[in-house]
Every structure is written in structure tokens, then in C-alpha cells.
Structure 1
Amino acid sequence: MAASLQRKAFWGMVWNFAESFSLQIIQFIIGIFMARILQPSDYGMVGMLSIFLTISNMLITSGFYRALIQKKDRTAIDYSTVFYFNIVVGIILYLVLFFSSPYIALFYNVPILEDLTKVIAIPLILNSLSQVQNAKFAIEMNFKMLSKISIITAIITGISSLYMAYSGFGVWSIAYSSVIGESSRCILLWFFANWTPLWKFSWKSFREMFSFGSKMFASGLLESIYNNLYTLIIGKKFATTELGYYTRANGYAQLPVATFNNALSKVTFPMFCEVQKDDERMILLYHKLLRFTAFIIFPIMMLFIVLARPLILFMITDKWESCVILLQILCLSYVWHPVQIVNINLLQAKGRADVTLKIDILKKGIGVLVLCLTIPLGVVAMCIGLIVVSLISTLINIYFTKRIMHIEILSQVKDLCPPLLYSLFMMIITYFATSLIPQNGLRIFVGGVVGIVTYFFVAYLFRSKELQYLFEFINKKKSI
């Protein structure tokens, strides 16, 4: 049993990191070409709608999807119940956005948003049709198939968006390509899942999953509203181009974090659920994941900070220079997000959705307070506020993990300190190594090489446990 779980966990991590990395590379390359063709105002208009779309998607994906995975004695009726519930939610959310589109356009005083909302919200219905199939693959830990589907979908979306952008569709190239991409994903999930719903909806099954799922709904709603408050406020109070700069900077800052968040969310939650009755194994797994996550994500984000200017100027030209400082600040904010993901998944696997909801309410309350204080100071100050909120949120997560799982705060902090110190040292060396190089492309290359070599050399010099975990993964791959 333990060996089987380790094999599933290992290959789950491999395939999810492969999927996430491949997706980010594809989206990164497509994004470079798109940013060269489109204007900051185009991204600003799509950013104005992000709060409505993200909230809607979160309501579909965060609640009963996770309840289905967390439930140990799930049946065919459970799957069908969640399927029909998701469809109803998806249709209702689309209709709400469809009939609200004139008011959204009026709120921002951008008339094109009325038609744009009606098109860009279509994927909500498509997403609701495929969530059970997605959960089924996750429960079976068949992340290989999910990875293939995601990569194929990203390629189709990227090709269609580039074609339409070069054909002069402007902002509509983003809207139509999202519909094409989600349609492709829905078709592929239905084709490969080998599952069809029963013609039955069980209120008993619904009520059993509602206790957990409803709290996930609430947490997802809070998370979505808070994460998109910035685009809402910047779009309302500042120029559309300012929102475009923020949207691009935010997108690039999230690239490495999204890779880890996707992999960690998809793999660690089912892994923790498998051993949810064995606290000792859960705690051991938690420490390893925490150290390994920090070991990978900390240096990547620090490298992004050092190389932010040459990256932006080299990739998408100097018309986007204003987003350099925003990218650097946001990287410092997002560096802690994967750490929070590990903590939250641990608590959710124990069935403590009530605690995660309390944590979300507390963190979002602090976040809104900081946001209100920084709005008068401008977009840069608002982003700096995110760093403060991220640090406080991480400490809150660590505290509640101690309360529920009795994992000492000091032991959690000790897990994070070594990779953080290695990363800060690497950042300093990389900065001085590239500061006198005038060519942006050469600075990126030299900075990348110097940063990676320095980081792994320091980690090896101090015999870091994180590096040992990495070698363990490599050795497992050879032995499996």
C-alpha cells in the first residue's frame, strides 16, 4: 500500500510538473507574441472581466469537485449528482453574466465589454460539463492523461489566439481562443474519461458532500473576489493601460508559481487524502513537500526579480517597461503562495474545511484592510501591500497547521529558512554578475547560468536536505 502510494505520488508529481511546466512554456511563448501584437489596453479590457470570470470558475471547480475527491466511499450516484449540480451552476452563472453585461460595461464606461462578456463567459458552461471527468482522473491519480489533455488544449488555444491576433481581431482574439480552448478540453475529457452519468440525482448524496463542499464554495468565493479586487479597482480608478501593465506583470509573476500551484493542488490533496487517518505519515509527507516546494520556488522567483528588466525589454519591447517594477514586487508576493497551498491541502485532507474557511476569512480581511490603505498611494503601493499580506497569510497558515496537526511553528520555519538563504545569496551574486552587461539577451543568459550554478553549489556546500530529496526523486525514477 505504502509503496503503491509512493509510486503514484512520484509519477503524479512528475506528470503534473511536466504538464504545468509545458503549459507555462507554451503560454509564455504565445504570450510574448501576443503582447507584441496587442496593446496594453487590450489586456486591460480582459483584465476588467477577470473578477467575474474567476469567481464563476471558482464556484464550479472549488466546491463539490474537491468534496468528491475527499469522500472515501464515493459511488456512481455521487459522480452523477455532482455532474448535474455543476451543470446547473454553470448555466446560472453564464446567464447572470449575460444579463449583467450592459451594467459591467457601464460600470467601467467601456461599451465593448458588453459583447465581450457574453463571449468570454461561454467557457463557464463548458467547464461545468467536464469537472467530474477531471475529478475522476485525479482520484485515480491518472495525471498522465490530464497532462496530455491540458497540453493539447494549450496548443490549440495558442495557435487559434495567434492566428486571430495576426488577422487583426485585437482583444477578440483572446475571447474567441478561450472558447475554442475550453471546447477542446471538454471534448477530450469526455472522450478519454470513459464515463457517462446516470440519469439520477441523489439529494442524500448531495447533503453528504454539502458540508465539505459548501465550505469549499465559500473559501473559493472569498479567494476569487480578493484575488481580483486589484483588477477591479485598478480598472475603475486608473487608466486602462495601467491595468494592462498590471495584468502583464501579474501574469509573468504567476508563471512559475502557477506551475507549482497546479501540481501541488492536483497531487498533494489526493495524496494527503490517501493517508488522512495516519497523522504520522501525513506530517512526514508535509515536511518533505514543504522543503521541496521552497527549494524549487524560492530561487526561481528571486531570479525573476533580478532579471525582470532585461526579460521585459527583450521579450515584449520597451512599450511594456512600466510593468518591470510591478513584476519585481509581485514576485516577492507570490513566492509564498505554494507554501500556503501545502498547508491548506493538509487541512482539507483532514476534512477541516471549517478551519480553512476561517483562515480565508481572516487572511482576506487583513488583505482588504491593506488594500484600502494603499489605494490612494497608487498601483505600485498596492502591489507592495500584497507582499505584507502574503507574509502575514503564510504565518497564519503555519499557526493553524500547528493547532490542528501539532506541527511546531519553529520546525515549519526551519524547513523554509535554508532555501530562502540560498536564494538570497544567489540573487546578490547574479545581480553583480549581470549589472555591467548592456545587452538584454546576454544578461538573461548569463544571469540564468550564474544563478542556477550558484544556487546548487551553495545547496551542495551546506548539504541541504532539499537537494537530498531531489536526488531521492531521481533515484526513484531510475528504480521504478
Structure 2
Amino acid sequence: MTQASLARIGARGGAVTLLGQVLMVAVRMGALIVLARLIDPGTFGLVAIVAAISTFAVSVVLFGLPMAVAQAETLSRPAKSTLFLVNVGLGLLLGAALFLSGGWLARAYGDERLVGVAHWLALIPVLIGLATQSRAQLMRSLRFTTLFFAEVVALVVGTGAAVFLAVRGAGLEAVLTQQLAPVALQVVLVVVGGRWLPGRPGALAEVRSLLAVGLRILGMNVLKNGSRQVIVPVMGLSVPAAALGNFDRAQQLIVTPINLTVDRMQQVVVPVLSKLRGRPARMRAYAQRALLLGAYGTATVFLLLAVLGRPLVRVVLGPGWETAGVVIQILALGATCRVLGQTMQWIFIAAGATRQGLRFNLWTQPLVVAVSLAGLPFGVLGVAVMNSVAWALFWPVATVAAARAAGFPAGSFFVGPARAICLFGIPVAAVAALPLLLGLSDGVTVVLGLVLGGCAGALSRLLFRTVRSDLDALVSTARLALARRTSPASARPERTHGANLHERD
């Protein structure tokens, strides 16, 4: 595969994934708005306890194998079948453990409804185990459009079923459907779209090296997801269900863009970066451009949430969710750094530095949890403040560690995102906050703030040459994604500030 065609496939895969992200965020936000007005916060808090455990179990079931397979140079059919059995076995084991834990959870949290919640959500690790290798094959063959279709269709249909149940008066059943139905449908679509079925497994020795890589990626994922998921169950032991529901909804509003940016884009970025491992300069240039997407896109969204979160929550969620508005403003500040810090995992994996990545996560992710829970004596707001402090410290440390592991200068991964935040994101958020001073209605404040923020972004592009160069680089990536074939002109080197995909070695 030529460098130009690889760049085009990577750009097109990124564009498809970003389009999927936009659609999925829209669906999730729409469902959140509707369900929050039909179902009480306590029900969300109840399901959040088990959902956090289920999500953690999914990290173990994956065993890091999708990314390990995506970066492997060769992989035989018997080896794929062996890995399939590993994922299915882990899914059955973790699903059974969650199913049997229902009684213990009910006693620990004093609510018998947790038994049924645990029984239903125990299906999720099993389903994920069945589809993991089909998803890995799609990623390995760079078939990002098929993945996009499966994820979006499954989410739309599954979420629609949850909203339908809620409108008809169901509460707990609707929230459980929102968790389970998209996963079940996505499994069917991925397996069918992947056109791959397991055969006779090979010898375990054939996949030993992949399992070793997967184990290290598993460690990174478990530590990363543990830092996301352990906070809610621990808070549930001392925080009322309604307050926990407010925190969980606010956290979901934050985590959803991170999942759909960092985790989904990883499916595109890691396979492409791995193919450039033998060309360090080009690998670094592609990574820089990928990081700019998060800096100018997701990080700016979080800064807007930090200033407009409270009126936005009052508009979209209605009464009973006032605490969530404050929590989301606080968490959004930390999420600005969190999304940039967690993208460094792309570098660890693609550079073949999973051992260093695991060592780094072994001490940083537990520290994030510890710092966050240090705010527990002050309730949900205290946890939110300390969580943001933890992620603000995490970003520069993660950048330095990943760059060092890959053999790149840290400044090449830090300067671009920092420039995007200082010269673009912060001015956009500052100008968007001006309507808060005018005493307008919540709806008008949000709309006017977004309009003014957009104008501030356009002015920033006009005033700062580096911002203009960065945004032009992202636009050229989008154009590359839309190109149907590579012309000689598109294969020529293009000069952009700090992120040249076609840079010479």
C-alpha cells in the first residue's frame, strides 16, 4: 500500500468515524434529554452502579486483542480462531460473575432491584466476547465504514426502543434497554458485516506474542476504564441515589464525547500509525494531525460546556437535575485535559511501546481515582472538583511519557494541542460566556453563547497564523477523506504548521 493511499484511507476512516461520532452524540444526547424527563434520577443512579461494573468487565473481555490484532503484521486463520475462543471464554466467565453478584450488590446497596439489573447487564460481557474478533478483522482490513454503520444503526434502534418503553411508562426497564439493546444489535451487525466465522483453532504458541501484547493493552484499558467506572460504585455507598443519578448523568455527558473521540478514533489512528512505524517522521506527522482533531474539536466543546453547562442542563433535562448542571461545568474543565491525555494511548500502542504504556498507567490511573475520591467528604461537587484536578495533572505527564516511549520529542505532541486551547478554545469559551452576564433566559443564553463562540473562533483563525495553518491542515485531511482516487497533486508533500502527513523521513 502506497503512502498516499494509506493517508487517504486513514483520512477517510477518520472522517467516517467523526461522522459516526456526531450522529452517535446526537442520538445519545437526544435520548438523555427524553429519558431524563420521563425517569427519575434515582433510577439512573441505580443502573449506573451495575453499568460501571459491566463496563469494567467488558475491558477485561476484550483483553486488549482488537488493538493487538490491528497492529499485527500477519495473522493466520487458526490464530484468529484461537483469539476468538479467548474472548468468548472471558465473556462467559465475567458474565457469570456479574450474574452471581446480584445478591451481594443488593445487600451492599440496600436495594433488591439490583439483582435483576445485574442479571440483565451480565449479558453484555458475553455479547462483546462473541463479536470482538469480527470487529478486530474489520479494523485490521481498514473497513471503517462497516464499523460506522453497525455502531450507528445499533445505537439508533436500541435507543429508540428504550425511549419507546419510557414513553409507555417503563422506568427501570427503559434504562436497562438503553444499556443492552444497542450492544446486542451491534454484535449481530458486526458479525454479519465482518463476514468472518471461527474455524479450527491453532496452537496457543502461535498467538503467544499477540496475547502478551494484548495483556499489556488490557492492563492499560482496565486501568483507564477503572478510573472512569470505579468512582460511581464507591460514591453509591455513601451518596443518595438521586445525587448519584445527577452525577452519573453529568459524567455521561462528559464521557460520551471522550468515548466517541478517543476510543472510536483509536480504531482508525492505531492501525494507520502502526503501518508507518518504519517511517518515524511520517508517523509523528500523522499523530500530530490526529491530536489536533481532539484539541480543536472535543477540547473546545468541553470548554463551552464549562461555561454554558448549567443553563444547558436546565434547558435539556428540566427540573430535578440542577446538581448535574454544576457537576458538568466542573467535570468539563478536567475533561479538556483528559481527552488530550488519553489520546497518548494511541502513541503507546502504535509505537509498539505497550510495556511502557502499561507501566505508566499502573501508577497514574490509580492516582487519578485516589485524587478524585479525596473530594468525597464534600459530596458529588467535591468529587467533581478533585477529578478535574487529577486530569489536569495527567495530560502533561502522559504527553511526556508517550513521546519518550515512541522516541519523539515531547514538544511535538504538546505544543499543538496547547496552542489550540490557548489561542482557540479559551477565547471561544470566554466570548460564549458573555450572555451569562445579561440575565437572559436559559435557552437564549445557550443559543447566543454558541453563536458568539463561533464568531470568536472565526476571529481567532483570522488573527493567528498558526491557528489558521492548523485548521487548514484539518480541512485538507477532510478533503483527502473525500477524494475518490489519489491524483499526482494529492501525493505531493503539503506544508502545514506542525502536522505534515507527507513529511520526508
Q: Tell me the TM-score normalised to structure 2 length.
A: 0.91
Q: Compared with structure 1, are the counterparts of its residues 387 and 120 closer, same or farther at alpha carbon in structure 2 (3 Å cutoff)?
A: same
Name the structure 2 match of 1:455: 457
Segments of structure 2 that go 5 or more residues without pairing to the other structure are 485-505
Name the structure 2 match of 1:111: 112
Q: Compared with structure 1, are the counterparts of its residues 64 and 460 closer, same or farther at alpha carbon in structure 2 (3 Å cutoff)?
A: same
Alpha-carbon distance, 1:254 to partner:
2.5
Q: Compared with structure 1, are the counterparts of its residues 113 and 166 closer, same or farther at alpha carbon in structure 2 (3 Å cutoff)?
A: same
Name the structure 2 match of 1:388: 389
**Alignment partner of 1:333 is 2:334:** yes
CA RMSD of aligned residues (A): 1.7
Of stretches 253-262 and 356-365 in structure 1, the one that deviates more from structure 2 is 253-262
C-alpha distance in 1 between matches for 2:366 and 2:180: 34
Q: Compared with structure 1, are the counterparts of its residues 311 and 442 closer, same or farther at alpha carbon in structure 2 (3 Å cutoff)?
A: same
The answer to whether the 8 Å contact 2:223/2:365 transfers is yes
Give the secondary-structure state (helix, strand or coil) at the position aligned to 2:440.
coil
Q: Compared with structure 1, are the counterparts of its residues 178 and 398 closer, same or farther at alpha carbon in structure 2 (3 Å cutoff)?
A: closer
Name the structure 2 match of 1:472: 476
What CA deviation, in whole Å up to 9, does each residue of 1:202-234 have, x standing for no partner?
Answer: 211231212111112222222232222210121
1:10-409 to 2 correspondence within 5 Å? 10-409=11-410
Alpha-carbon distance, 1:38 to partner:
0.3
Segments of structure 1 that go 5 or more residues without pairing to the other structure are none
C-alpha distance in 1 between matches for 2:211 and 2:259: 28
Q: Compared with structure 1, are the counterparts of its residues 283 and 364 closer, same or farther at alpha carbon in structure 2 (3 Å cutoff)?
A: same
Alpha-carbon distance, 1:477 to partner:
4.6
C-alpha distance in 1 between matches for 2:256 and 2:55: 17
The answer to whether the 8 Å contact 2:334/2:391 transfers is yes
The answer to whether the 8 Å contact 2:434/2:449 transfers is no
C-alpha distance in 2 between matches for 1:475 and 1:372: 45
Q: Compared with structure 1, are the counterparts of its residues 83 and 392 closer, same or farther at alpha carbon in structure 2 (3 Å cutoff)?
A: same
Alpha-carbon distance, 1:95 to partner:
0.8
Of stretches 433-442 and 190-199 in structure 1, the one that deviates more from structure 2 is 433-442
The answer to whether the 8 Å contact 2:109/2:236 transfers is yes
Matched residue type, 1:287: Q
Name the structure 2 match of 1:443: 445
Alpha-carbon distance, 1:398 to partner:
1.5
- How many equivalent pairs are there? 480
Give the secondary-structure state (helix, strand or coil) at the position aligned to 1:318.
coil
C-alpha distance in 2 between matches for 1:475 and 1:164: 42
The answer to whether the 8 Å contact 2:231/2:373 transfers is no
Name the structure 1 match of 2:499: none
Alpha-carbon distance, 1:253 to partner:
1.9
Alpha-carbon distance, 1:68 to partner:
1.3
Q: Tell me the TM-score normalised to structure 1 length.
A: 0.96
C-alpha distance in 2 between matches for 1:378 and 1:338: 25
Alpha-carbon distance, 1:345 to partner:
1.1
Alpha-carbon distance, 1:479 to partner:
4.4
Of stretches 59-68 and 139-148 in structure 1, the one that deviates more from structure 2 is 59-68
Alpha-carbon distance, 1:386 to partner:
1.2
C-alpha distance in 1 between matches for 2:410 and 2:12: 30
C-alpha distance in 1 between matches for 2:293 and 2:267: 16
Alpha-carbon distance, 1:255 to partner:
3.5
Give the secondary-structure state (helix, strand or coil) at the position aligned to 2:306.
helix
What CA deviation, in whole Å up to 9, does each residue of 1:109-154 have, x standing for no partner?
Answer: 1111011100122122111111111111111111111111111101
Alpha-carbon distance, 1:5 to partner:
0.5
The answer to whether the 8 Å contact 2:292/2:470 transfers is yes
What CA deviation, in whole Å up to 9, does each residue of 1:342-363 have, x standing for no partner?
Answer: 3211121122111111111121
